[in-house]
Amino acid sequence: MRAVAVVCILQRYSVLPGSCMLSSRVRLVPTTVRLVHSMICNSSSSFMDLKALLSSLNDFASLSFAESWDNVGLLVEPSPPHPVNTLFLTNDLTEEVMQEALRKKADLILSYHPPIFQPMKCITWKTWKERLVIRALENRVAIYSPHTAYDAAPQGVNSWLAKGLGVCTSRPIHPSKAPNYPTEGTHRVEFNVNHTQDLDEVISTVKGISDVSVTSFSARTDDEEQTRISLNCSQQALIQVVAFLSQNRQLYQKTEILSLEKPLLLHTGMGRLCTLDEPVSLATMIERIKRHLKLSHVRLALGVGRTLESQVKAVALCAGSGSSVLRGAEADLYLTGEMSHHDVLDAASQGINVILCEHTNTERGFLSDLRDMLGAHLENKINIILSETDRDPLHVV
């Protein structure tokens, strides 16, 4: 039994991994056999091609939900093919974190904040962000950032932040719009055409305009058989369509132009407005937030007329920097990482309490949940590890 086990293990390294031969000449103690077998199992763990992994990550949380100003997705790509065995999670990719990722043999770094945001005119050793790119390419490590796509996702950062409030219902403050509907165009133009000859000319002309899709169907108006033309077009194409139709006054006067809006997604979007099942005092809410974020201190601005015993029923929150997202939201409390001084004053003047926890303290704890969710989503095909050196740059002293 001992000899059989050992030779089978050695065959794992051969050209024919499925074969197994007996040999009485190979002799190892059982302890060594188990150790070698363990090492081989670890070294042969599965991996995913980078492109396939990126597709799975987009299925988990679509990059289309990211804000238009953001820089999300694959930021650094080694030459393909690029197999990924180890995915390394961090909130911020600093040089210290990069060193850790290289020590742990990361193939892909998922950095919540994009380390590349402003365009780079050169890649030299002068600045720390340029050095990150150089180190990544030299060591064949890809870099990916989801940022605001994970803010908006139903299972994303803001939903995790809301878990610290207690039992509540929540909805996005600014809901995202469905990315794939309507599939074409920003406007719909509809009108009726009477005569067959006119119909052929009209359809031929509008089909010749870029970014226009045309459909037609029979219609009856004032007991007269007509053809209804419906076309979807872009904003730029709309100008050309209108210019053509305006040449026929009778046709143009009966034209309807509709602005197409994509439907809102109920559970996806920026920020969260949370309504507690049972209101609690502001003091109790502060302790819950500190416990959830593992913080000893937070910054508090009391709303005008409020005290620590004032009741909190509605909380508007936004991980990171929440000024633009929270502004105007009706709530008893604003919770975010940072806000401008004047936005804090504005909220307090309306009787709204404000809790600030520093930017990344409202995000970093999410990565532990993300590790578990991605593990399940990727069916444990790759190793997923969490940075131990990633930390908030600010400290209370």
Of 53, 45, 105, residue with least CA distance to 80: 53
User: Computed from CA positions of residues 245, 247, 248, 254, in that sequence, does the dihedral angle turn out positive or negative?
Assistant: positive
Say if residue 369 carries a ligand binding annotation: no
Which token pair is 78? 């080694």
Nearest-angstrom CA–CA distance, 317 and 270: 9
Amino acid at 67: E
Angle subtended by helix axes 196-207 and 235-245, to nearest 10: 150
In terms of DSSP H, where are the helices of the chain? 2-11, 30-43, 50-60, 95-103, 128-138, 148-152, 157-162, 196-207, 235-245, 249-253, 282-293, 323-326, 341-349, 366-377
Helix and strand numbers (H, E) in the chain are: 14, 19
The 3-state secondary structure of 200-245, one letter per residue: HHHHHHHHCCCCEEEEEEEEEECCEEEEEEEEEECHHHHHHHHHHH
Angle between helices 366-377 and 50-60 (to 10 degrees): 120
| CA 347, 353, 359, 365 torsion-angle sign | negative
Question: What is residue 344's three-state secondary structure?
Answer: helix
Cα separation, 394 vs 366, whole angstroms: 19
Known binder of ligand: residue 151? yes
Q: Between the CA of residue 355 and those of 146, 169, 395, what are the distances in Å?
A: 26, 20, 17
Contacts of 304 (CB under 8 A, 6+ apart): 348, 349, 350, 351
- Contact residues for 17 (Cβ-Cβ < 8 A; gap 6+): 11
Nearest CA-CA partner of 166 in 292, 25, 268: 292
- Residue 363 among known ligand-binding residues: yes
- With 0-12 / 13-18 / 19 or more C-beta atoms within 10 angstroms meaning exposed / middle / buried, residue 365 is buried
Residues in binding site: 113, 151, 359, 363
Q: Can you say which residues are annotated as belonging to the binding site for a divalent metal cation?
A: 113, 151, 359, 363
